[in-house]
Copies of this chain bind each other. A is one copy, B any other.
Amino acid sequence: MTTPASATPVLQARGLVKKYGHVTALDGADFDLMPGEVLAVIGDNGAGKSSLIKALTGALQPDAGEILLDGSPVRFRSPIDARRHGIETVYQDLAVAASLDIATNMFLGRELRKPGILGSVFRLLDKKRMREESARHMADLKIGLRSLTQPVESLSGGQRQGVAVARAVAWATHVVVMDEPTAALGVKESGQVLDMIKRVRDGGTPVVLISHNMPHVFEIADRVHIQRLGRRVAQIKPGDHDMAEVVAIMTGALQVSEGKAVVADQDAAEAIGLS
């Protein structure tokens, strides 16, 4: 374990366990997010990355383990609890409501009402303002859209992903968590999301980024959390290891001990060209 001892982690987890019937998705997973960093979470398919961040953001109740926010234990009974603490999440399965339009999706759960009596008594939505602000947020991400009143279901996969990302970035105050936000995005849009992540980090908000895209991870992450078989097997700094080594750790060919990589599985390591 190589947890930096410098500061209190913003978000922390110890020994999270989650079982689905006979499948163990989380098997005693630890997690540490330090202030102001971009932490990449990587791992094979099925390693439990999505389960981990679902547990951290209230979308899933772990069977065991504890979660700490700024050092004090918390329990998120639902995504709303996490959100109240300023934690915003882009879930892998695209949390957008298909038949509603982009502006409505951007503001879902936090709608703006008209000023004055129209808003307070008649609860009238300020659709115009919501549309304008959405347009602004989408423009920040430079996601090209022909109409904001189109239902989200008629967007391309990438455009839909853009809506979810823009939404999380717009609202987060404490932590932003993104589960493969660029998976469906084009080169240009991916670049915009990475820029946006940097900007969020530079604004002081730490970001958790799950990604399978190693160049992206190496470009942007301050630290990397490597997940394997439901557990964190290493935390590294991208500068200390090269991409091949990191992939080797991910697949179990190498193990990290005291910050140095050692060969764990000779066959596997040879198979990927390390020895």
Chain A residues in contact with chain B, CB under 8 A? Answer: 20, 22-23, 42-47, 50, 92-93, 143-144, 146, 150, 154-159, 162, 180, 183-190, 212-215, 247, 250-251
Contact = CB atoms under 8 A, between A and B. Distances in A.
Nearest to A144: B46
Nearest to A250: B187
Given A44-B188, A50-B156, A187-B247, 15 more contacts: A20-B154, A23-B146, A23-B150, A42-B187, A44-B158, A44-B186, A44-B189, A45-B143, A45-B157, A45-B162, A46-B144, A92-B184, A183-B184, A184-B212, A186-B212
A130 to B, nearest CB: 22
Contacts of A157: 45, 50, 92-93, 180
Report how many copies the assembly holds: 2
Nearest to A92: B157
A144 B47 CA distance: 10
10 contacts: A23-B150, A45-B143, A45-B158, A45-B159, A45-B185, A46-B144, A46-B156, A186-B212, A187-B212, A213-B213
A140 B189 CA distance: 33
A156 B51 CA distance: 10
Contacts of A183: 183-184
Nearest to A50: B156
A266 to B, nearest CB: 18
Contacts of A186: 43-45, 47, 212, 250
A51 to B, nearest CB: 9
Nearest to A243: B187
Contacts of A159: 45-46
Contacts of A43: 186
A20 B158 CA distance: 17
